[in-house]
Amino acid sequence: MPAVRTKSGAYNTNHPKYFKQLGKQIDCGRFKAMAEVLMYHAQKGSKAPEVIVYPDDQRVQTALNAAIEHAWPFVIHIEFRRSLSGEKRGKFMAAIEGLLTAHAAHSFALNHMGQLTAVEVRRLVKQHQNIYFLTAHTNPVIIRRSKQPWVNVFRGEVFCPEWKELLLHYADRFIFALDNVWETHWRELYLDQMAYSSRAMADLTHDVAHAVAHGNAERLWRIPMLDK
């Protein structure tokens, strides 16, 4: 599905060009989703800069209003572990929960599980009916090759007990996803990640595996349903 592009140097620097680019994409009518919106992104070596944009920023609000207007889930990128701590972490969490409350009828999804623990995720899903979690970069294949503090939801070749319990009890809140940025992600890493996911899904009940693997995505992004 074609998604409106949000990430750019213009977004990072709050340049007027960002709003022009965003509006042009939305107005053309060819897009069916909104790409993830960076709010806190830690620096990744020389490849990606640190990005700090709070939810009340005009850049976020403009994208959010468009997503609400088109009934597109609003995908948020916040890395809550390591670099984001103390007062700044609390401020981001409060702001996100403020969005969830203010727009209770709209769907929000945290990419990479927000780098949150299972305990933190459980609290959010219990308190907010409109939050979802994308599983990108939460498997050993990526974690072994990265210096970033991604959340590992696996133990061996199946889901950790605490994550499996969450999946079983809140199957409608989790969405299988990958974050294929570089060429290697589409080659050997893709096949390895899919193998991990396939084995782990087989350890769940059929209905839960179906929901997490693709059913929830089909429902939220209004994709024609695949056969069960």
pTM of the model as a whole? 0.94
In a domain, 87, yes or no: yes
Please, are residues 167 and 174 in contact by the beta-carbon 8 Å criterion? yes
In a domain, 29, yes or no: yes
**Residue found by looking up tokens 């133990």 in the block:** 155
Closest CA to 63 of 77, 47, 81, 49: 77
Residue 83, sorted as left (phi over 0), alpha (psi -120 to 50) or beta, turns out to be alpha
The whole-angstrom separation of Cα 171 and Cα 184 is: 30
31: domain CATH number is 3.20.20
In a domain, 133, yes or no: yes
Domain of residue 34 covers 3-220
Classify each residue of 15-52 as buried b or exposed e, where b means 16 or more C-beta atoms within 10 Å of its C-beta: eeebbebbeebbeeeebebbbbbbbbbbeeeeeeeebe
In a domain, 227, yes or no: no
pLDDT in tens, 202-227: 999 999 999 999 999 999 999 987 55
In a domain, 203, yes or no: yes
More confidently predicted of 188 and 157: 157
In a domain, 225, yes or no: no
The pLDDT score that the predictor gives to residue 226 is 59
In a domain, 50, yes or no: yes
Please, are residues 139 and 193 in contact by the beta-carbon 8 Å criterion? yes
Phi/psi of residue 60, nearest 5 degrees = -70, -45
pLDDT in tens, 84-136: 778 889 999 999 999 999 999 999 999 999 999 999 999 999 999 999 999 99
In a domain, 228, yes or no: no
Q: What's the number of domains the chain is made of?
A: 1
pLDDT in tens, 139-187: 999 999 888 889 999 999 999 999 999 999 999 999 999 998 878 888 8
The pLDDT score that the predictor gives to residue 106 is 98
